[in-house]
């Protein structure tokens, strides 16, 4: 086998443990230990020997930590690669498609009975396939299996088979371990950043910064405790999700028995009844429906509010192969609720169970997948493991820290050079020199960095949560700030789901007096075939006396005054158009559900007369008439009609231009009297030789906020695209209303030539042509001309062209699709191809949809937003006075809540409880805010790092050191300002300007370097000016370097360079006071200048925490500079009084550098704006 085996985005490598004498980590420590001991002994005898022992121990600890942090280092040090996986002991798994491809160690286990080698990763089990030599995810592979095999499934035949199945598949539950607080806290404290900060705390202690060290340590520990507590609470919430286990009738060992759903395994035969006695009947696993018909609510998975019909596979051809993607109408998914069901008279279990097939009259189902292997299980795994966050571990953050490290190393090298070559040996303090060199380097990473970045993303998630927008993948929030192409489904997303039935237009009738298309009217004739199709070809269901299902079908029933009782469609009692002997009812015998590829549906029904005296439930006993009723897209159903009117196309296209949704209706009267023959009709047999009976038209009003929302996105430099399965002209009409098509529409239509075999670019170009909206102008179609045409027209392309171009390859798709505004009559596969193509040409894509047909596109997009139409946000409660206990609980609950199953969707990482597209704007605004906060944090960090590198190097050489209290106060204030910066709110209005999306760009570098230049000039100038006032007072500086150091030979007495110990510790002086106040002014200026407010965040004055903090700090700085605070304030902050001239210089210099930095930032932002995608300039 190869070194790496790939399966579903996993890279797997197998290893075995080395013997002790072959371990490279032990060899490294054993080799370096004697070296350390020898050098220590030669340098300082016994003291050096102890130092060598300490260095050896430190090296060993570092090696252990590296093995804990880096799985690759652990493998290099302790393991051997194994080509033969059967002899391996553990494996290293690396997800290929995660935000951070961190490797994970997994223990390999072998089954004693079968010798099966496997490992578990992210709640999924992977098993070694001995034929291919690679690991495959353990799943019940039913893709492509014949329906005949499933229909003969015997269930679990023996107790041994049950035991083997449970051992193989595990329990049918979402079981995961919840760690204890202390072990999890220790794990967090062993993280690289935390260990690094502990090391820095130790350095500060050695330099006698006791308060600052204690403050930093407490802050780090509190942050980690908060993270651990939140993580445990989230896991507890996840454990409580889902439904309570129910007892299920299961066919095992030749008889029906009730068992807990936790014991179900693939291959079990179960019976599910909507009348089980529970408040709700939950489907316990992903099951294939073998007998019966059911209606389920799948909103917990998809957010789709329309109930889904589930039909048995017994009428499918036994030779057909099962497909998860195509045969969803036969599958009941775990976690969904069974609303209603009808059992079949018999099933294949009837001869075995001495019953009709199920003991409770329920649906007979075959269990296909259980536990985390189900569709709901995949959603749970996403919630559990998609917790990537913007952190200091991201690649861009790491590169930027390395960039700053270059300057820190340079400053440290400068200090080291002065200490070694420019200082007399008798005055040199090696320990102090080494300590300060290391501290300069470690100053690159501030202790509050991980808190700042985590808080930025968590604040955004909390803001979205308060707007009933939920996110299962937090790392996508900054991606929302980069979005430049927004794609929308039409029906149910931009337009309302409450359609209005306008009536039926029939081209067979005489034209009106004006010579136009037939008038649209609601059918009133009892014998009208259109009425039969509209009320007999449907997927509606009556639940508690109310119709549930497709809004279009409900609108037709409401207008025609018909109702449903199970599969019986009959007129309402008050229907004025059907009286006496005209009254009839329709019973659906067989239903061919809507197919998005065929774009039609059909039913086989029995029409019976209704006797006024007969009970309505019975519906009479007289023989009836068998009918095939069909409806669908006019262009799709046309081939099924035996004859169509001459003006067929002209009529339905005219209706579509008005923005109406047009459905063709067809009927066929069967000359068959045997119900078994009728039930055995295949779809192709039923949907042939139909008689055309008119066009049903529906108006689909826009949702209230659609036009306003899309206009806002368009004005904010976003490309808008509509991807719908509706008719082209209807889509164009809506696209104009919502500002997607802001230019004259140009529609790609067939040129009258055959397109079925168009497999070359030339054939496709000759088979289609561009036409204007009214069909008066034709333009030749060419792949290379799409970009030029898009400058003057809004291009509209049918899904058929997308499919044909996909056959030519990505190059053909990239030539056409990125320049189109409307895609109509698209299948789910077409939608996915369109979104992928937009990504391939460099767009950051947002996709918003509401139905299961959008799942592929929503998952493919950078930012997928599913609208949960089935859920309504909770109404706001009336405000009342809160108790102290409620205030405390509210503060505790202000942390980020975990996303629940009802709020998440298998369709996309973002979900909204609102059915409008307004959340798209909220997500983009919050994404921009997070992205801007992310970039500005690193710029502030960069400027402060460069300033501190200078302060800790050059000024250290000249005797300047910050006091412990100064360091602590400065650290506290900076941490609070960073928290306020992270906690900012997004601006209420989207702007046409786009935020800078990268740290390494011209704007960022010019702004950072330019601001630092002025800050450096201010810092260096005030320091040199302060030396002219210091005189002999500089001698009081405890950290003054020896006589050889530059600057001390002229400004201070060489003999006064006493050590800190001799000086009795830190004592404030003039130079230290100037350095502290100037550095503080620079830090405040950096925060104030680099805060990015409007147009992405709220104005700085509306960020109360930051504004109040800056004003208070400026006031404090003014008191320290002026001395107005008195001796007590000076003593608290360890500063001395300043001369009047120096006060003026510091104040004016601070104002000057503040203004200069603001000018640099403003100029850089205007000179180097974020570039728009080239397609947005067309």
Q: How far apart are CA 1050 and CA 1035, in angstroms?
A: 12
Query: Are 798 and 728 contacting, i.e. CB atoms less than 8 angstroms apart?
Result: yes
Choose the catalytic residue: 25, 207, 489, 850. 489
Please name the helix (run of DSSP H) or strand (run of DSSP E) that holds residue 171, with its range, or none: none
Query: Are 661 and 499 contacting, i.e. CB atoms less than 8 angstroms apart?
Result: yes
Q: For the chain, what is the radius of gyration of the CA atoms?
A: 37
Where do runs of H (alpha helix) occur along 869-1001? Answer: 884-892, 918-951, 954-957, 964-982
Query: Are 15 and 89 contacting, i.e. CB atoms less than 8 angstroms apart?
Result: yes
**Phi and psi (nearest 5°) for 609?**
-75, 150
Is residue 654 part of the annotated active site? The answer reads: no
Does residue 919 sit in helix, strand or coil?
A: helix
Residue 802: closest CA among 748, 862, 873: 748
- Quickly list DSSP for 291-313: ESEEEEE-HHHH---S-EEEE-S
DSSP code for 146 = B
Query: Are 665 and 504 contacting, i.e. CB atoms less than 8 angstroms apart?
Result: yes
Query: Are 963 and 1037 contacting, i.e. CB atoms less than 8 angstroms apart?
Result: no
Distance of CA 323 to the CA centre of its chain: 27
Query: Are 142 and 154 contacting, i.e. CB atoms less than 8 angstroms apart?
Result: no
DSSP code for 1059 = -
Query: Are 372 and 288 contacting, i.e. CB atoms less than 8 angstroms apart?
Result: no
Q: How far apart are CA 1033 and CA 1138, in angstroms?
A: 13
What number of residues does the chain have? 1178
975-987 burial, b for 16+ CB within 10 Å, e for fewer?
A: bbbbbbbbbbebb
**Phi and psi (nearest 5°) for 477?**
-65, -50
Query: Are 707 and 495 contacting, i.e. CB atoms less than 8 angstroms apart?
Result: no
Both tokens assigned to 342: 């009808």
Residue identified by tokens 């830090």 is 1083
Cis bond before residue 1095 (omega within 30° of 0): yes
Please name the helix (run of DSSP H) or strand (run of DSSP E) that holds residue 393, with its range, or none: none
- Report CA dihedral (875, 876, 877, 879) to the nearest 10 degrees: -170
Query: Are 1106 and 980 contacting, i.e. CB atoms less than 8 angstroms apart?
Result: yes
Q: How far apart are CA 288 and CA 147, in angstroms?
A: 10
CA distances to 220, 252, 706, 876 from 918, in Å: 39, 51, 7, 19
Q: How far apart are CA 999 and CA 1016, in angstroms?
A: 22
Q: How far apart are CA 726 and CA 499, in angstroms?
A: 14
Residue partners of 15: CB distance under 8 A and separation at least 6: 75, 79, 80, 81, 82, 88, 89, 90, 91, 92
Both tokens assigned to 304: 């789709």
Residue partners of 643: CB distance under 8 A and separation at least 6: 691, 692
Please name the helix (run of DSSP H) or strand (run of DSSP E) that holds residue 1077, with its range, or none: helix 1070-1090
CA distances to 1077, 1119, 1124, 1143 from 1127, in Å: 16, 11, 9, 16
Query: Are 230 and 236 contacting, i.e. CB atoms less than 8 angstroms apart?
Result: no
Catalytic residues: 489
């Amino acid at each position: 086998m190869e070194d790496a085996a790939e399966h579903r985005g996993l890279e797997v490598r197998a290893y075995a443990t080395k013997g002790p004498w072959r371990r490279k980590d032990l060899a490294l420590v054993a080799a370096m230990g004697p070296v350390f001991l020898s050098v220590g002994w030669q340098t300082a005898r016994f003291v050096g020997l102890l130092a060598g022992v300490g260095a050896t121990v430190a090296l060993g600890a570092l090696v252990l930590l590296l093995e804990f942090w880096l799985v690759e280092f652990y493998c290099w040090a302790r393991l051997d690669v194994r080509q033969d996986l059967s002899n391996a002991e553990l494996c290293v798994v690396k997800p290929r498609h995660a935000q951070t491809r961190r490797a994970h160690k997994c223990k390999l286990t072998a089954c004693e009975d079968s010798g099966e080698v496997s490992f578990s990763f992210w709640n999924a089990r992977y098993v070694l396939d001995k034929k291919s030599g690679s690991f495959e995810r353990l799943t019940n592979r039913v893709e492509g299996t014949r329906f005949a095999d499933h229909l003969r499934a015997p269930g679990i035949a023996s107790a041994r088979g049950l035991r083997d199945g449970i051992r193989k598949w595990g329990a049918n539950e979402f079981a995961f371990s919840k760690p204890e607080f202390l072990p999890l806290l220790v794990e967090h404290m062993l993280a690289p950043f935390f260990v690094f900060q502990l090391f820095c705390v130790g350095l500060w202690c050695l330099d006698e910064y006791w308060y600052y060290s204690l403050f930093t340590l407490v802050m780090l520990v509190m942050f980690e405790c908060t993270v651990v507590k939140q993580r445990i609470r989230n896991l507890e919430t996840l454990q409580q999700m889902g439904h309570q286990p129910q007892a299920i009738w299961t066919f095992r060992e030749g008889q029906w028995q009730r068992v807990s759903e936790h014991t179900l395994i693939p291959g079990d035969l179960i019976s599910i009844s909507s009348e089980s006695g529970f408040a709700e009947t939950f489907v316990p696993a992903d099951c294939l429906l073998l007998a019966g018909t059911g209606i389920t609510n799948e909103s917990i998975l998809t957010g789709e509010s329309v109930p889904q019909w589930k039909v048995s596979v017994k009428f499918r051809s036994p030779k057909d192969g099962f497909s998860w993607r195509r045969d969803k109408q036969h599958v009941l998914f775990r976690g969904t609720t069974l609303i209603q069901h009808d059992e079949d008279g018999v099933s294949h279990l009837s001869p075995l169970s001495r019953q009709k097939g199920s003991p409770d009259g329920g649906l007979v189902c075959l269990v296909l997948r259980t536990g985390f292997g189900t569709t709901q299980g995949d959603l749970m795994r996403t919630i559990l493991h998609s917790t990537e966050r913007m952190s200091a571990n991201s690649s861009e953050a790491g590169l930027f820290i390395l960039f700053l490290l270059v300057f820190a190393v340079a400053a440290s090298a400068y200090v080291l050079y002065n200490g070694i070559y420019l200082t007399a040996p008798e005055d040199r303090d090696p320990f102090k020199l080494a300590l300060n060199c290391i501290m300069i380097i470690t100053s690159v990473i501030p202790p509050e960095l991980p808190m700042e970045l985590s808080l930025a993303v968590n604040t955004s998630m909390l803001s979205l949560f308060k707007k009933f927008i939920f996110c299962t993948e937090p790392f996508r929030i900054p991606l929302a700030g980069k979005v430049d192409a927004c794609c929308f489904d039409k029906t149910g997303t931009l337009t309302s789901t409450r359609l209005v039935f306008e009536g039926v237009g029939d081209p067979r009738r005489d034209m009106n007096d004006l010579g136009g298309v037939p008038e649209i009217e609601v059918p009133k004739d009892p014998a009208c075939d259109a009425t039969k199709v509209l009320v007999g070809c449907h997927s509606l269901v009556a639940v508690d006396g109310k119709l549930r299902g497709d809004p279009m079908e409900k609108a037709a029933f409401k207008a025609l005054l018909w109702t449903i009782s199970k599969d019986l469609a009959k007129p309402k009692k008050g229907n004025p158009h059907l009286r006496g002997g005209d009254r009839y009812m329709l019973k659906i015998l067989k239903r061919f559900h809507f197919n998005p590829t065929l774009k039609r549906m059909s039913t086989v029904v029995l029409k019976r007369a209704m006797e006024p005296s007969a009970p309505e439930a019975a519906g009479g006993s007289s023989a009836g008439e068998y009918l095939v009723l069909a409806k669908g897209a006019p262009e799709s159903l046309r081939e099924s009609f035996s004859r169509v009117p001459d003006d067929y196309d002209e009529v339905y296209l005219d209706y579509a231009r008005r923005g109406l949704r047009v459905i063709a209706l067809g009927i066929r009267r069967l000359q068959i009297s045997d119900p078994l023959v009728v039930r055995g009709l295949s779809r192709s047999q039923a949907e042939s030789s139909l008689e055309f009976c008119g066009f049903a038209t529906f108006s689909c009003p826009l949702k209230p906020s659609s036009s306003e929302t899309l206009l806002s996105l368009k004005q904010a430099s976003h490309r808008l695209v509509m991807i719908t399965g509706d008719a082209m002209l209807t889509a164009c009409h809506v696209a104009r209303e919502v500002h997607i098509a802001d230019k004259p529409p140009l529609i790609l239509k067939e040129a009258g030539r055959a397109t079925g075999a168009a497999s070359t670019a030339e054939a496709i170009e000759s088979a289609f042509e561009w036409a204007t909206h009214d069909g008066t102008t034709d333009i030749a179609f060419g792949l290379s001309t799409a970009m030029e045409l898009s400058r003057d027209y809004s291009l509209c392309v049918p899904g058929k062209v997308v499919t044909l171009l996909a056959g030519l390859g990505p190059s053909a798709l990239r030539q056409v699709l990125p320049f189109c505004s409307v895609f109509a009559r698209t299948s789910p596969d077409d939608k996915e191809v369109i979104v992928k193509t937009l990504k391939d040409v460099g767009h950051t894509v947002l996709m918003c949809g509401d139905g299961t047909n959008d799942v592929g596109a929503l998952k493919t997009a950078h930012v997928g937003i599913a609208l949960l139409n089935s859920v309504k946000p909770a109404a706001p409660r009336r405000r009342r006075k809160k108790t102290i206990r409620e205030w405390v609980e509210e503060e505790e609950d202000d942390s980020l809540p975990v996303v629940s199953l009802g709020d998440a969707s298998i369709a996309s990482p973002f979900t909204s409880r609102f059915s409008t597209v307004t959340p798209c704007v909220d997500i983009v605004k919050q994404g921009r805010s997070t992205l801007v906060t992310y970039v500005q944090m690193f710029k502030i960090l960069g400027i402060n790092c460069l300033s501190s590198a200078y302060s800790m190097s050059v000024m250290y050489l000249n005797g300047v050191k910050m006091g412990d209290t100064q360091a602590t106060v400065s650290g506290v204030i900076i941490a609070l300002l960073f928290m306020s910066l992270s906690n900012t709110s997004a601006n209420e209005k989207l702007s046409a300007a786009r935020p800078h999306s990268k740290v390494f760009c011209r704007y960022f570098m010019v702004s950072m370097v330019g601001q630092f230049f002025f800050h450096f000039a201010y810092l260096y100038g005030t320091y040199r000016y302060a030396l002219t006032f210091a005189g002999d007072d500089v001698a009081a500086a405890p950290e003054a370097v020896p006589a050889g150091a530059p600057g001390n030979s002229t400004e201070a007495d060489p003999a006064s360079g006493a050590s800190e110990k001799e000086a009795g510790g830190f004592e404030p002086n003039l130079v230290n006071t100037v350095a502290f106040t100037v550095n503080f002014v620079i830090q405040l200026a950096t925060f104030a200048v680099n805060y990015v407010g409007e147009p992405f965040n709220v104005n700085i004055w509306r960020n109360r925490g930051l504004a109040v903090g800056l004003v208070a700090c400026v006031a404090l700085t003014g008191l320290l500079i002026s001395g107005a605070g008195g001796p007590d304030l000076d003593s608290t902050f360890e500063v001395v009084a300043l001369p009047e001239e120096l006060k003026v210089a510091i104040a004016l210099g601070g104002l000057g550098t503040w203004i200069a930095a603001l000018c640099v930032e403003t100029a850089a932002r205007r000179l180097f704006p974020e570039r728009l995608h080239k397609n947005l300039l067309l």
